């Protein structure tokens, strides 16, 4: 009977996950107009809007160990519910934000949400899929479907956000709050597959002992050439994706594109992200161990071309079309990257180490997002967006070439080609 209930719980989680992920992977409505809302309605400077991202990243780094402890103490389901509640709180603070200090407070709440969600959501799905030779492929399909649907919904809500913003700039934010509340209700329907027992060994750990356990896991991850390479790559790519996403809106605003068309561009590139999530399995099968190289090099080239076009003397509408084309490629890569990195990091990992891998990956992403965000904010304070974008692309290309060289002998191997210590936690 218990086994039957477990099977039903797994099926329920896998069936619900794609629907839940499609509305909760990130915030719908708001990101299409966030830069405009904060600079035009709240009168916060463009450099401060970019700078807030670095504070968010800093909070994410600080919260990783507490998030890990929380997931193991109360379970993935409760953490997923809690994360969505904090996401709603973040949006409510944004509504009343007045300055950079308000944004910093809001980003603290958002960091609580995603430091927990980044671990609990994907771990919940991974635990719900039965072990087997095709577990990785099943994970890619379910996670990919959820990501794809999110990007498509994001495209639809982005267009709506543009029109709603012109009616009342607060309407898109209210839409985001409603979606977040729906995601919270959906998260209550998941089943907890890992029993959480306060009298268990985990429950008896002191905080100090638990941190030592995390330290041991983190030490293994950092010493693993394969994981270290993937985590560094993941951090740099994510930091760049976050920065150039903000630059896109700023650049379009600089050349005189209206809020409605900025939202439409956001919708189109959002669809491209969904396509990337959908075709990531095909990309993996086509490029194999060169997939990550292809993603990073093409992204760097597109960023450089965006900067060049932004500096040109072409008509604003022509510049917008070129930027949209370049960002279609960037966001297609972003969509594929999101699913593939989660899959690659979970290879050879068991439930014991997996949350720690996701956690240290989140730390890496946010360290690089913070550093790249500080650089991006500084550039935007001294030069225009087009020059900032061009310089970012050139630096990223140089870093990409060095990173690919470093990863060449450390990733993309078969299980029997890795040293035993590389997959110590594999069972």
> How is residue 192 written in tokens?
């907890």
> How is residue 193 written in tokens?
């597959």
Cβ count within 10 A of residue 219: 10
**How far is it, in rounded angstroms, from Cα 356 to Cα 147?**
22
Residue 232 has what DSSP assignment? H
Q: Structure pTM?
A: 0.73
pLDDT tens by residue, the chain, 427 residues: 556 567 788 888 888 898 999 999 889 998 888 888 998 899 898 888 888 888 988 898 888 778 878 887 888 889 999 999 999 999 999 999 988 999 999 999 999 999 898 888 888 888 888 877 777 778 878 887 887 888 788 888 988 998 899 899 999 999 999 999 999 999 999 988 764 444 444 444 456 666 676 677 777 777 778 888 888 999 999 999 999 998 998 899 899 998 889 888 988 988 888 788 888 888 888 887 788 899 999 999 999 999 999 999 899 999 999 999 999 999 999 989 988 887 788 776 666 677 778 778 878 888 898 899 889 988 988 899 999 999 999 999 999 999 888 887 666 555 555 565 555 554 4
Quick one: pLDDT at residue 374? 87
- The 3-state DSSP class for residue 188 equals coil
User: Cβ-count burial of 193 within 10 angstroms (0-12 exposed, 13-18 middle, 19+ buried)?
Assistant: middle
Nearest to 177 by CA among 276, 79, 71, 95: 95
**How far is it, in rounded angstroms, from Cα 4 to Cα 151?**
35
Residue 313 has what DSSP assignment? -
């Amino acid at each position: 009977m218990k086994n039957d209930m477990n099977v039903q719980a797994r099926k329920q989680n896998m069936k619900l996950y794609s629907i839940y992920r499609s509305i909760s992977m990130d915030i719908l409505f708001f990101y299409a107009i966030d830069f405009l809302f904060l600079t035009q309605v709240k009168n916060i400077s463009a450099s401060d809007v970019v700078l807030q991202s670095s504070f968010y990243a800093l909070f994410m780094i600080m919260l990783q160990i507490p998030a890990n402890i929380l997931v193991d103490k109360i379970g993935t389901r409760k953490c997923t519910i809690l994360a969505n509640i904090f996401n709603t709180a973040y949006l409510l603070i944004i509504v009343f934000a007045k300055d950079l200090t308000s944004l910093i407070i809001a980003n603290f709440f958002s960091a609580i949400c995603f430091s927990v969600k980044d671990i609990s959501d994907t771990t919940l799905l991974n635990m719900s899929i039965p072990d087997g030779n095709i577990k990785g492929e099943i994970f890619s399909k379910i996670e990919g479907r959820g990501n794809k649907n999110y990007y498509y919904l994001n495209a639809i809500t982005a267009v709506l956000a543009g029109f709603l913003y012109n009616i009342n700039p607060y309407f898109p934010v209210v839409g985001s709050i409603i979606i977040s509340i729906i995601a919270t209700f959906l998260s209550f329907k998941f089943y907890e597959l890992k029993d959480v027992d306060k009298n268990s060994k985990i429950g008896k750990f002191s905080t100090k002992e638990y941190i030592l356990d995390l330290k041991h896991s983190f030490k293994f991850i950092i010493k693993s050439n394969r994981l270290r390479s993937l985590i560094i790559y993941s951090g740099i790519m994510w930091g760049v994706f976050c920065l150039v996403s903000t630059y896109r809106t700023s650049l379009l605003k600089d050349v005189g594109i209206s809020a409605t068309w900025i939202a439409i561009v956001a919708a189109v590139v959002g669809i491209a992200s969904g396509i990337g999530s959908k075709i990531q399995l095909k990309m993996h099968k086509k490029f194999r161990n060169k997939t990550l190289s292809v993603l990073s090099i093409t992204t760097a080239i597109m960023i450089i071309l965006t900067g060049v076009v932004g500096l040109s003397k072409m008509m604003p509408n022509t510049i917008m079309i070129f930027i949209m084309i370049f960002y279609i490629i960037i966001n297609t890569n972003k969509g594929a990257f999101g699913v593939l990195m989660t899959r690659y990091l979970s290879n050879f990992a068991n439930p014991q180490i997996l949350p720690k891998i996701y956690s240290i990956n989140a730390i890496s992403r946010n360290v690089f997002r913070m550093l790249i965000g500080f650089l991006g904010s500084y550039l935007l304070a001294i030069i225009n967006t087009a020059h900032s974008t061009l310089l970012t692309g050139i630096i990223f290309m140089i870093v990409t070439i060095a990173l690919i060289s470093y990863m060449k002998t450390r990733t993309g191997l078969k299980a029997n080609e890795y040293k035993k210590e590389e997959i110590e936690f594999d069972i």
